[in-house]
Structure 1
Amino acid sequence: MTNRIYPCLWFDGQAQAAAKFYCTIFKNSKITSDNQMVVTFELDGKKFMGLNGGPNFKFNEAVSFVVDCETQEEIDHYWNSLTADGGQESNCGWLKDKFGISWQIVPTVLPKLLSDPTKAQKVMEVYMGMKKFDIKALENA
């Protein structure tokens, strides 16, 4: 794996716990190095770094990670796993995990549905009322 550019996530003493948590959720994931200050890990083959930098900075919605999902089962898996143990649901496929990181759990069919001029408005109305995406409800809009 050769990610020259990758995110560094600033934690307040929870970098190792976060890396372990994420590696249980995403396939093709592993911790590649770990010490008390920095942990590097891969999620679905993509490199991340967790830094135990202290309480100075907090995560917010200005940065989020998007997870494209082909099936409802994938959406359910990521949604339920990432909101477990203190995560928070939000609207339109957004959530925060228990560490405060924002995620968007998005069906891959959504852009296609929104590009159909006969369905786009109704699809948008339906998804604006959702927290976790429901693919069947979107397709039936």
Structure 2
Amino acid sequence: MTAIHRAPGDFPGGRAGDVLVVGFTVCGIPCIGLNGGPAFPQSAAFSIQIATDSQEETDRYWNAIVGNGGRESDCGWCTDRWGVNWQITPRTLTEAMAKGGEEAARAFAAMMTMQKIDHAAIDAARRG
């Protein structure tokens, strides 16, 4: 969190003093979140993707999100305690999908059986 801005007055769906805008940083990228109130709930239509280079990095992000009140989902997705959806995606999976053909099909089939992505299993699927 880099900033928290509260509403200076009442507004539709909120009151003075409610958190209105927050600033935060994800992997060095500055972001802003706006509290749109109950008319604009968070959904799976928006997610933050983190590309990882190792199983240790995947585990670190996954465990930080899921272990802090979040929940696991399928295919490398998880949801944090605030309902924001995350994709923790190993680069080896992205690379396999970009190759296309049988390599992509094997990596995709392997991914479909996982929650947190297993780098070694994706690499094995890529090799056939």
Scaled to the shorter chain, the TM-score interval is 0.7 to 0.9
In the TM superposition, residue 108 of structure 1 has moved relative to its aligned partner by 0.7
8 Å Cα contact 2:51-2:91 kept in structure 1: yes
Q: Does 1:103 align with 2:86?
A: yes
Helix, strand or coil: the match of 1:140?
helix
**Identity among equivalent pairs (%):** 37
5+ residue gaps in structure 1?
1-18, 20-30
Listed one character per residue, the Cα deviations across residues 67-100 of structure 1 (whole Å, up to 9, x for unaligned) are 0001111100111111123211111101111100
Q: Aligned partners of 1:35, 1:111: CA distance in 2, in Å?
A: 37
Q: Aligned partners of 2:63, 2:4: CA distance in 1, in Å?
A: 27
Listed one character per residue, the Cα deviations across residues 98-137 of structure 1 (whole Å, up to 9, x for unaligned) are 1000010000111322316343322221110000000001
The match for 1:35 is 5
Q: Aligned partners of 2:23, 2:104: CA distance in 1, in Å?
A: 41
The match for 2:57 is 74
In the TM superposition, residue 53 of structure 1 has moved relative to its aligned partner by 4.3
CA RMSD of aligned residues (A): 1.9
Larger radius of gyration: 2
